[in-house]
Amino acid sequence: MVDAQATISEALLARDGVVAKMPSFLVAGGDAGALIARKDWRASALGAVESWPAALVRNLRLCLESRFPFAIAWGPERTQLYNDAFLSICGGKHPAAMGQDMRTCWASAWPTFGPSYERALSGNGSFVEDGRLFLDRRGILEETFFSFSFSPIRDDDDTIAGVLLTVIETTRKMLDARRASFLRDIVTSGVSATSPREAMELAMRVLDEAAFDVPFAFVYSVDAAGNEAELVAHTRSTPERYCPVSVDLRPERARWPLAEVVRANRYRVLDGLAERFELETIGPYPEPPRSAVLLPISSAGSLTPQALLVVGTSPRLILDEHYRAFFERVAGAMATSVASARAHEEQRRRAEQLSALDRAKTTFFSNVSHEFRTPLTLLSGPLEDELAERDAPLPEARRQRLATAHRNTLRLIKLVNVLLDFSRIEAGRAMARYQPTQLGTLTSELASLFRAAIERAGLTLSVEIEPQSEPVFVDRDMWEKIVLNLVSNAFKHTFSGSIRVRLRYLPTAAELDVIDTGIGIAEHELSALFDRFHRVYGAKSRTHEGTGIGLPLVRELARLHGGDVRVVSKPDYGSRFTVTIPLGSAHLPAEQVDTDASPTPAGAGVAAYVQEAMQWSTRQAEADEAHSTAVAASGQAAAGSLGKVLLAEDNADMRTYIVGLLTSTYQVLPVPDGRAALDALANFQPDLLLTDVMMPRLDGIQLLRAVRADPRTRQLPVIFLSARAGEEAALEGIEAGADDYLVKPFAARELLARVRTHVELSRARRDWAAHLERTNQELEAFSYSVSHDLRTPLRAIDGFSKAILTRNAAQLDEEGKQYLARVRKAASRMGELIDELLALSRVSRAPLRRQTTSLSALAERVAREQRELQPDHSVSLEVEPNLNVHADARLLEIALEKLLENSWKFTARRSDARVRVGRVTADKPTFYVADNGAGFEQTYAHRLFQPFQRLHTDADFPGTGIGLAIVQRIIARHGGRIWAEGREGHGATFYFTLPDT
């Protein structure tokens, strides 16, 4: 460092004795003081140092001793003196600046300094904050910022002889603040960009304003392969010849080293612009930029940049780390904008695709609806004609069939119409015609159309219309649909109480309330209620034949009037739907407002709504009747003889149709819903349940669950009938335990075939069960009498044999006694057999009473008994503690008795007899009783558990051959399994499981 060098040489100078000549006020002045001391001032305006006026010396001493940058301009020639702290301000001007005319020294800054200097000379101090000045202290004219103050210095005679300059540099702070504001603007502008190109253009517009930092800038987009760059945008200052529209990145020597930057994906500084381009003035300064920076704009994580930014650097700024960091932040901000714009673009494209899809769907609905209407019209027309035929009327039975067809054709037409209305609105083609209307009269008329249907269903209808002379602008067809849909909806979900239709006027709107005391809507369903095709699941309703677009239609229609619909509801209390329509016509499109107030006839749709409602209340009457009959008795059911079918179906026509199909063969009981079916089951005892899936009150799935949960109906075959053809529905049905599944529309023959199969199966199953029950009863009676009747003669045989042996012993020889002893032995064995057989039958018959039982304790107890019975046979017994099971303790004790008896018996010949009772696995417990006795051949293991099967001779091991059969039955009664492992001469192990339920 040059300054340091100077300091050292001056210190040497001082040591050589110059110090002795240095005036005292300069001694503390550091390098600046030393320079002043060394300089020969005699030729200057100030004259020799020794002759300097006291005021100058005093002020100079003050400056030199301060660590704050100070300079003094003294005398008419503005001779400049300064301190060490001022050196950094001088830069390359030091040491020439010492003693120089201040104005000459700071000529480039004088436009800023001058006025303040002059003011000071006239006796007024001044302070300028963050003044912008151009200094040539580093070989170039440099843009800098200073806060400075000029103050007057008075001579001893009080005249102003000099000026004191105090200065502090704020360049860093000012540039940072300026650049930060541009960065902020780039980011902000990027937010509104809808495409990457727009984001880049907007960034250039921000840089247009940043000419002091960015004299020119342009940006290229780079294709994915990195082969070609295309100009996207440039600042207004950028000469077009700088930035060709497209650049081939492949040749190595391009004008700008764009290719290099693309490959390296990192910034690059390009110096010597003068050599590359013919220099010209760009931006605010006469000097052309000396260098440029090339920066990649890349999204996070990508290897090749998506764009390239080229920026010129200001000729009046040094390209230091701060400046470079600024350029990098510009590129970073642009990358962010580009990325967010790309996301925007993506989102918009998705939204457009969705709306296109929606339009296509709506068009489809519309087309389909139209297509449907033609054949429907051709269906209903001829049917109507036929029904109206007077000259050659059809017989009543056939007329009924046609009437059913006709009614359902009308219903289909209505559904298609609603769908069509909706698709029209969706497509924005609803050409509403808003006419001034006496809304009260119209509403009252429409609501009253439902009166008959509502009252027939046992409900009350009240219509409250607030009088109002001013007409309301509505499209009458639309208002009609609003009222019809709301009232129809209320009726559909109300089973007792009332429906109120109320029209009131608020200051700016008419308000229609439709209030019912129906089932209400759960809060979580409310939000989606007006969504198309949304249906409240499982709701009790008069019908499930909804379209799911009635309420959404109401909302769309209300909105077309500038109004809306809202709902409040509470489950089990009812609902209130409120439609608000603004008064006047100012809010409506003028071209659709029609001032003609003449009434128009009611639309053709009205009849369909009312007819449908009528049908619901008729059907309810039928349903109630069917229900009560079903509960009362099964006699009402139609008579066929091959089996009984319970039919649950909410659609009256469908019910009638199916009954018609089945009635000649089966006894059919039709009911309108799942609840009624459930109630009818116990009395009717059907062989088959045929049920719809979607039904009010209790749907098919719920019905099926209830049927399967009841042990009396668990076996009942169930066939689902459903209109939902998806595989999903079939799975749902089968999973819930349905036996079969038919999708509507179904062929009559298919229905008949399936019903026949299941009824026959059911009958067979039931016959078999009855047969089994009878057999069981017989068996029980048999074993009961065996108990009595077989034992009595046995007892006589044994008793009298004994009597002969004791009382008539004298008349008997040895042989006779032997024979009688054998008679007694046989009788006793017969008695044992009978007892065992009885036990076997009893363990199968006795009810299972499960309780938590300690198998360990039972085993210990049974073993104790065995020990008492056979005191001579010593057995070492190990019972694992805490073997707890949920089982019938009595039966389990019998099982253990037989098993341990067995163990004792087969270990009888061993002196080291060992019996173990324990458990093998902890999670799915398997218990065992193991002995080291005679064992058996594994080949015969399966025969062990069959009655009277014995693997040993009576002489070896006496027994009845029933014991293990009893054990097996006891374990089976518990739902468990028993098996045995053994080896002849090496013992046997009996394993068994005892499931908890």
| Contact call for residue 983 and other proteins (CB under 8 A) | no
Give 827 or 862: the residue with its C-beta nearer to other proteins.
827
Location of structure tokens 């003011």: 119
Cis peptide before 23 (omega within 30 of 0): no
Q: Tell me whether residue 790 or residue 857 sits nearer to other proteins (CB atom).
A: 790
Q: How many residues bind other proteins (CB under 8 A)?
A: 25
| Segment contacting other proteins by CB under 8 A, of 159-167, 184-192, 532-540, 825-833 | 825-833
CB closer to other proteins out of 290 and 842: 842
Rounded-to-integer distance, Cα 884 and Cα 274, Å:
99
Candidates 35, 827, 883, 896; binder of other proteins (CB under 8 A) is 827
CB 834, min distance to other proteins, A: 8
* Cα distances (Å, whole numbers) of residue 26 to 33, 66, 166: 5, 12, 19
Cα 608–Cα 614–Cα 617 angle in degrees, nearest 5: 145
Q: How far apart are CA 716 and CA 704, in angstroms?
A: 10
For the packed helices 814-845 and 748-785, what is the interaxial angle rounded to 10 degrees?
A: 150
What does the buried/exposed string (b/e) look like for 336-361 if buried means 16 or more CB atoms within 10 Å of the residue's CB? bbbbbbbebbeeeeeeeeeeeeeeee
Return the residue of 378, 597, 796, 848 that touches other proteins, per CB under 8 A.
Answer: 796
- To other proteins, the closest distance from the beta carbon of 802 in angstroms equals 4
Give the integer Cα–Cα distance in Å for 558 and 352.
26
CB of residue 698 to other proteins, shortest distance in Å: 42
Count of C-beta atoms within a 10 Å radius of residue 535: 18
Residues 107-166 that bind other proteins (CB under 8 A): none
The minimum distance between CB 690 and other proteins, in angstroms, equals 43
Residue 538 Rama label (left phi>0; alpha psi -120 to 50; beta): left
Q: Is 960 in the site for other proteins (CB under 8 A)?
A: no
Gap between the Cα atoms of 199 and 850, Å rounded: 78
Closest to other proteins by CB, 651 or 841:
841
Pick the closer one to other proteins by CB: 565 or 839: 839
Q: Are 23 and 50 in contact (CB under 8 A)?
A: yes
Helices (H), 96-154: 102-105, 110-121
Give the binding range for other proteins (CB under 8 A) out of 221-229, 263-271, 795-803, 848-856: 795-803
Q: Which stretch binds other proteins (CB under 8 A): 185-193, 478-486, 649-657, 834-842?
A: 834-842
Judged by CB under 8 A, the stretch of 388-396, 537-545, 794-802, 911-919 that binds other proteins is 794-802
794 binds other proteins (CB under 8 A): yes
Query: Does 15 contact other proteins by CB under 8 A?
Result: no
CB 938 within 8 A of CB 981: yes
Among the listed residues 133, 136, 137, 142, the one whose alpha carbon sits nearest the alpha carbon of residue 92: 137
Q: Tell the smallest beta-carbon distance from residue 970 to other proteins (Å).
A: 16
CA angle 930, 936, 938 (to 5 degrees): 95
Give residues 842-871 in contact with other proteins (rule: CB under 8 A).
842, 846
Of the residues 265, 400, 600, 828, which one makes contact with other proteins according to CB under 8 A: 828
Nearer to other proteins, 765 or 802 (CB): 802
* 958 lies in the binding site for other proteins (CB under 8 A): no
- d(CA 724, CA 728) in angstroms, rounded, equals 9
- Give the binding range for other proteins (CB under 8 A) out of 428-436, 820-828, 865-873, 957-965: 820-828
State which H helix or E strand residue 927 sits in. Answer: strand 926-931
Among 104, 299, 353, 792, binds other proteins (CB under 8 A): 792
Nearer to other proteins, 644 or 969 (CB): 969
Strands 875-879 and 913-919: parallel
Cβ atoms of 459 and 513 within 8 Å: the answer is no
Alpha carbon separation from 878 to 38, 853, 931, 937, 991 (Å, rounded): 117, 19, 10, 25, 16
Nearer to other proteins, 763 or 791 (CB): 791
Site for other proteins in 772-791 (CB under 8 A): 784, 787-789, 791
- 95: preceding bond cis by omega (within 30 degrees): yes
Q: Verify binding: residue 284, other proteins, rule CB under 8 A.
A: no
Site string for other proteins, 234-273 (x = CB under 8 A): ----------------------------------------
987: left (phi over 0), alpha (psi -120 to 50) or beta: left
| Residue 776 Cβ vs other proteins, minimum distance, rounded to whole Å | 15
Q: Which is nearer to other proteins, 27 or 790 (CB)?
A: 790
Interface stretch with other proteins, choices 294-302, 768-776, 792-800, 864-872 (CB under 8 A): 792-800
Least Cβ distance, residue 784 to other proteins (angstroms): 6
Residues 798 to 817: which contact other proteins by CB under 8 A? 798-803
Q: Among residues 241, 771, 795, 864, which is the contact residue for other proteins, using CB under 8 A?
A: 795
Work out how close the CB of 842 gets to other proteins at its nearest, in angstroms, rounded to a whole number. Answer: 8
Query: Least distance to other proteins from the beta carbon of 958, Å?
Result: 15
Cα-based distances in Å from 546 to 455, 493, 566: 22, 12, 20
Which residues in this chain contact other proteins in the complex, by CB under 8 A?
784, 787-789, 791-796, 798-803, 824, 827-828, 830-831, 834, 838, 842, 846
